[in-house]
């Protein structure tokens, strides 16, 4: 309160107070009158000095790159998956299987990366655990992509596997 012009609270205009008096005696209780008080006026030096950042955590600046571009790429990939998966399963080929493997792994990596970023925060776990979690996510994504590509090149592929599962008959 060092910058206050007045040391006592300012009350609402008289016409507001007069209107409350005409409404009855119950409204003129001390609690109601206290609610009529306004906050004290604060001196301002200049507009740029009054707008200051307030945060409990240190300010983190972007390491570069456009997050809008990444967001757009994630949405474009999600939209492309609506066509890639049905076409890849309908017309099995090595190109279709590889395209499905890469796009599904990219989609799961970006989704899990958002989860790791949101829930394994440095403010809760320190700086080491989030870095380890992101590193583990990279390893899991690389191993998943490697396994799917190996399956595509050395076995029947993703579309062939799905077709085989759909045509499997149970033993009677």
Give the pLDDT confidence of 14-72 residue by residue, as tens digits: 555 555 555 555 455 555 555 555 555 555 555 555 555 555 665 565 556 667 888 89
Count Cα neighbours of 30 within 13 Å in the Cβ-side half-sphere.
0
75 and 154 co-located in one domain: yes
Q: Which residues contact 1 (CB under 8 A, 6 or more apart)?
A: 7, 40
| 4 belongs to a structural domain | no
Q: Any binding-site annotation on 119?
A: yes
pLDDT at 68: 83
87 and 15 co-located in one domain: no
Domains in the chain, number = 2
Residues paired with residue 117 on neighbouring β-strands, in sequence order: none
Helix (H, G, I), strand (E, B) or coil at 92: coil
pLDDT at 120: 93
Comparison of pLDDT for 32 and 148, the residue scoring more = 148
- DSSP E strands, the chain: 10-11, 37-38
What is the DSSP code (8-state) at residue 121?
-
Residue 118's CATH number: 1.20.1300.10
Determine the structural domain holding residue 25 and report its residue range: 10-50
40 and 115 co-located in one domain: no
pLDDT cut 70: percent of the chain above it:
61
What is the DSSP code (8-state) at residue 9?
P
Burial class (CB in 10 A: 0-12, 13-18, 19+), 144: middle
114 and 36 co-located in one domain: no
Q: What is the dihedral of CA 119, 104, 98, 159, to 10 degrees?
A: 140
Confirm if 88 and 158 have CB atoms less than 8 A apart: yes
Q: Any binding-site annotation on 15?
A: no
Assigned token pair, 143: 């191993």
Note if the pTM is more than 0.75. Answer: no
Kindly state the average pLDDT of the residues 148-156. Answer: 95
CA-based radius of gyration for the chain: 32
85 and 21 co-located in one domain: no
85 and 20 co-located in one domain: no
| 61 belongs to a structural domain | no
45 and 86 co-located in one domain: no
Comparison of pLDDT for 73 and 168, the residue scoring more = 73
114 and 158 co-located in one domain: yes
31 and 92 co-located in one domain: no
pLDDT band at 157 (very low <50, low <70, confident <90, very high): very high
Kindly state the average pLDDT of the residues 126-152. Answer: 96
Residue 161 has pLDDT above 80, yes or no: yes
75 and 43 co-located in one domain: no
Rounded mean pLDDT of the chain? Answer: 78
Comparison of pLDDT for 30 and 154, the residue scoring more = 154
Residue 159 has pLDDT above 80, yes or no: yes
């Amino acid at each position: 309160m060092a910058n206050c012009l007045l040391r006592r609270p300012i009350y609402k205009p008289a016409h507001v107070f007069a209107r409350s008096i005409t409404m009855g005696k119950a409204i003129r209780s001390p609690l109601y009158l206290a609610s009529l008080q306004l906050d004290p006026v604060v001196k301002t030096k200049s507009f740029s000095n009054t707008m200051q950042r307030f945060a409990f955590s240190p300010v983190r600046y972007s390491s570069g790159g456009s997050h809008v571009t990444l967001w757009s790429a994630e949405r474009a990939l999600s939209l492309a998956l609506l066509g890639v998966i049905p076409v890849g399963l309908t017309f099995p080929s090595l190109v279709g299987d590889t395209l499905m493997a890469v796009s599904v792994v990219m989609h799961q990596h970006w989704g899990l990366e958002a989860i790791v970023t949101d829930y394994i925060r440095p403010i809760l776990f320190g700086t080491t655990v989030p870095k380890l979690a992101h590193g583990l996510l990279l390893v899991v994504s690389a191993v998943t992509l490697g396994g799917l590509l190996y399956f595509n090149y050395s076995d029947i592929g993703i579309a062939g596997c799905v077709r085989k599962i759909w045509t499997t008959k149970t033993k009677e």
